[in-house]
Amino acid sequence: MEILDVVLILVTGVAAGFMNTLGGGGSLLTLPMLIFLGSPAAVANGTNRIALIVQNVVAVSNFRRKGFFYPKLGITLAIPAVLGSFLGARIAISIPEELFQKILAVIMVVILVLILTRPEKKFLKEIEGENLSSTRLIISMFVFFGVGVYGGFIQAGVGFIIISALALITGMSLVKINSLKVFIVLIYIFSSLVVFIIHGKVDWILGLTLAIGNALGAYLGSNFAVSKGDKWIRVVIVIAILSMSAKLLGLFNFLGQ
């Protein structure tokens, strides 16, 4: 791995960690960057999970230290997510490279819309009071099986799905939802990573380098006020995601003909 590659991976990791701290969607930057640097899609998908594990370990520790830790509920929802993640990871390593890149490009644009519109904020405003009856818990478990399938398959933007789902079904506070989110993601990401490791779809050097960047980005994002810079951060995110989506869809090759 060349010095320039290391710099690009670190910078992308910092941006992704910072982005994930603000709301989510960091994998929309890291996955395309890993592919851009020459990693096959499945390897990029597996490698990205190393950084996500490190990031979520830090997040869970921080939430626990602040008193927001719900292991019983988290494990209850994580069990179906783990089962789903095995299925999603198996699909991810079996589909053709070109098809995965096209799917990733489309998902990036969809998640970009979610980043800009933030529909989960509307859900949280409209729902008053927490309601986690037995029926709602069962519904949540089915939903998290689907979350696990998606997370095992591609992961990018799963935070928005979890926030919206828990807000609609349970009416929990955003802080509680986020604490559950990082705990559940940590568990099923680890299980899906095992599938990628078994099939040799992980680049450990790239993954650990990316993890350093993610950790630094998460640290910066959680220690500095960024409200004044939010507008410019969104502009950069829009440009980066649209550019990488266009590359994955092969539009640059088409225009160059």
Domain ranges of the chain: 3-255
Nearest-10 Cα torsion for 66, 165, 89, 183: 10
Identify the residue whose tokens are 């409209």.
126
- Percentage of the chain modeled with pLDDT above 70: 76
- Percentage of the chain modeled with pLDDT above 90: 22
pTM: 0.77
Write out pLDDT tens, residues 172-187: 777 788 788 889 989 9
Q: Which is nearest to 22 in space by CA: 146, 113, 116? A: 116
Which of the four pLDDT bands, split at 50, 70 and 90, describes residue 234? Answer: low
Long-range contacts of 175-178 (CB under 8 A, 24+ apart): 175/68, 176/68, 176/70, 176/130, 178/63
CA distance 68 to 66: 6
Q: Which is nearest to 57 in space by CA: 193, 206, 153, 156? A: 193
Q: What was the pLDDT predicted at 188?
A: 92
CB 81 within 8 A of CB 144: yes
DSSP symbol at 228: G
Report the mean per-residue pLDDT for the chain: 79
Write out pLDDT tens, residues 3-39: 888 888 888 888 887 777 655 677 878 888 888 888 8
Among 77-91, 106-120, 239-253, the minimum mean pLDDT is found in: 239-253
